[in-house]
Structure 1
Amino acid sequence: MGERQEKYKVLLVDDEPIILRSLKVAIPWEELGLRIVGEARNGEAALKLIEEHAPHIIISDIRMPVIDGIALMKEVLPRSSRLIFIFISGYGEFEYAREALRLGAFDYLLKPIDHDELGEMLGRARTKLDKQRENEQLMHSVQMLSTLARERMFAEFTLGNPRPLQHLRWLENSELEGEYFMAVVRLDDYAALSAKWSPEEKHLWLFAVRNILEEWSLNSGALSVFPFYNGEWVLLFPGSLGASKRELGEELIAGIKRYSKLACSVGLSRCTRGIDQLSTVYPQASKALYQRFYSGQAGVFIEEETPETQGREVKYPKELELSLLESIRTLNMERMLVLFDEMACFIGAQALEKELAERIIMEMVVVLYRQIEHLQLQNDWSLEGLLSRLHQLGTLTEMIEAVKAEFRGWMRSSNKSDTREDGRSVVEKTMRFIEANYHRDLSIEEAAEFAALSISHFCSLFKQVSGYTFLEYVTYCRMEKAKYILQNSNVKVYQVAPLVGYQDPRYFTQVFKKATGKTPSEFREEHAQQIQ
């Protein structure tokens, strides 16, 4: 029984003390994996014990004073449909016993009690409870997989990369075939907040905000909510709520402020259709958020007609933006400075008014800053300060030179900094983090947060560098520690499970056997000579 999970709880109900005593001593409760948690002399007393102990099995006399056995079952089964009732009945109570079976009793036996028959009946009841628990675990696992897979799928499409997710088409359903729009929720001054939070505090704050958003989305008609970048979440809404965009954004800001005391801003995209358009509406919502920096105030920003689309056509230099992003990722200062000069030429060639030129420069600066923040390279300068200075400058040349000076200074400090890490070192650092925390309920979101990567980027990079998926590596660490404990200690098998991150010893045994080909007990016996 060492490998079996926590014992199932049994409540005995009978108005005859001699029957209660005989049940307690004549049944091998320990061997059956059962534990008596209480005794009651009538149904009324049993109700209080059921509330207190939440038993799995009730063995009850069918006829008792105050509240009889069937009345007791009728009272509690609607609230606990998986509770198993076994009734004890007299020879003259066949009809009553059959009625109990019809109403949901597991079985009944006649007086005088045949203890072997009751033992066999309890064995079947335990098997049923085992199957129920396994089904619950399976459904929980499927629900968790579905949630994670949906988030991963939405994140990949938002990044414009659907190919790795072809095998997850079954999750798409049709919710994005109709009109929908996107909201991007971003914590204000996240870089400053992140710098002052410890890793544990950061995880707790981001977890709290996510819970707030998920609970709010259930009541607001949102289609989905998932984290994207650190300090940023994406929500999808049906197009039917398009007329209420601003109100939705204001509710989001107010809810996060009320429950977490954190300030945030919300950018909202235009409406679109189809899951493949996620990568189109994300830039729209994110671009709307840039207005937060122009305005200097937190709030709701909606992607609508902008100066670029009013009057004459002004094309945003997207190719130039992509080249600048690459120069920052590779810390190529020379290339970066040349590209800033090209941006000046692009703006000058179109003879843009100061307002439009300033808007393009500021938008580019915010995009590049987001890249720096995402890579978690050294950046101790203030984005708001730079944008404020740009707004005060009078000429294009002055603005470009100010941008070049700021990014040049940042690039030099990053090149000198020991904090710069390539993908391999980030993954290796995260592997050490997992090795130190595998015994907790460690989530992929927490690991990605530690690595300072989006969940999608973290998943692909971790697999590429380590050869494991996140879950595979967590399981590997847990199994290695379990093998060490089994080989080098006398800790009981069921006590090993919580030491390596599993609250359910039965599930731990299943995982261990799958990983090693042996149950924990078989593994210990095979290596018994190593235990001192």
Structure 2
Amino acid sequence: MGDLKIKVLLVDDEPIELDLLEHSINWEELGISQIRRASNGKRALQMIREEMPDIVITDIRMPVMDGLALARHIMAEEMPVKLIFLTGYDDFSYIQVAFRVEAVDYVLKPVIPVKIRSVLRQTIERIQREKGLRTSIEVSKYLILEQLILGETSEELYKAFEGDTNRYFLILVFGKWEKQVYKKIPTEIAGVSYGIFSPAACAFLLERNFDLQLTVCEIMEILSGRGEWAAVCYTEAKNVKELHRAYEACSSYADRIFMLEPGTILSVDRIDTAPKEDLSAAVLQPTTDRLTAIIPEGNAEVTVQAAEELFVSIKSRLRRKTQVTGCLKEVLRQLEEYFVHGNLGIKPFLTCSMEYTAEEIENSAFISCAQKSFQSYLMQIHSYYQMQGQGKKSWVVRQVREYVEMNYKNGLDLERLGQQLYLSENYIRTIFKEQTGSTILEYITNYRFSKAEQLLKNKTLKIGTVSRMVGYENVSYFTSLFTKRYGISPREYQNRF
């Protein structure tokens, strides 16, 4: 298929489907150089942001985040990805939505290899037309500079910078990076050049005649609202041949940065030689034993306190990130084995699995992020036992009703409610319908219109005001729903009083 190397991401919540898809196609024959896999849309979105594949082949129906929601994120972030949908639903409405989110094609399940190969060939040809085939590999100065920063040395590499007298500050920014954000920094901040991209920490070069501290603050300002970040700056400007020393020094502070708070900016001029104290799972065993004893009691305050004490103990010393994340994953494994393994009743409560939580902890840039993921999984288990004591189904209904009463004036987000309760959206919907006989959407609508009836009795209120007060920004839509529901318009209803 030419010299253009294509990267593909396969997304499906069924491992068997992923295996069949991966092994039924000769990818190399199509010019596809990399195949990656994801089990849901949320994980796929993270991988797309980090690795930017050319083609994403995704199922439509998946837990956590479905294929259509994934596609909408890709569109919103303007990522140059070609989407191919897989669906077991021969339903025209799904196909219509697929093309509204700019899918290039769709394939019905069960997937026939010859069909998917045909769709892939057409998609690759489209990519080739858009990008143009490269007949020779051009190595830019930026790529050579990256090799030098990483420590590769050769006269051939140095020749590209022969006569270059520029000196640079090196800035290493820790956090969860996406390539499009990484590329944004040099275009928006004067004096900043590309350095090295990685999903965990990106390096930037700053020309010597610019203010180092001011520039770091500008970078952090651009990144605000996009996650949590910290930076290490080498305070001495270096020439091209010396940049590896600065990069090596900044990188040595990775463990220290992990243990510090997001927003930290360190200025350094040497490698970090501070001793790190060892941490083993055995040190955390008393806390693990305590959690297994107190969680079934259903006391949220005691459970949270035990988890916080665990992290206070970890944070009391400077430690290696790999040891911290490794020990936390071992605690998770023990809790999963104790509470979840073989317990069919608890599984519907888990909005994310132990494996997914362990992966989040592994990829955490800071210990505070690891703590958040750890406690989130812990509270899922706690919620299960709390509901056992209160009557789990009535508890869910009560929580939904309280949430609607508190938020009916604003946008109601069932995903957010699920996060608050540590329950899956589908579980909440199912229990509510089972217990009340109506869907959550029906309950929300009934509640809003009961409030609208009360408000319309006040003739001083305008219809548009009432509409917004009960959560409908579009007055025409509110009027239409009201008229259909009551047989008269809101104005006619108001005039009765």
TM-score by length of 1: 0.29
Taking CA–CA contacts closer than 8 Å with sequence separation of 6 or more, which of the two structures ends up with the larger relative contact order?
Answer: 1
Q: Which has the higher helix share?
A: 1
* Greater Rg over alpha carbons, structure: 1
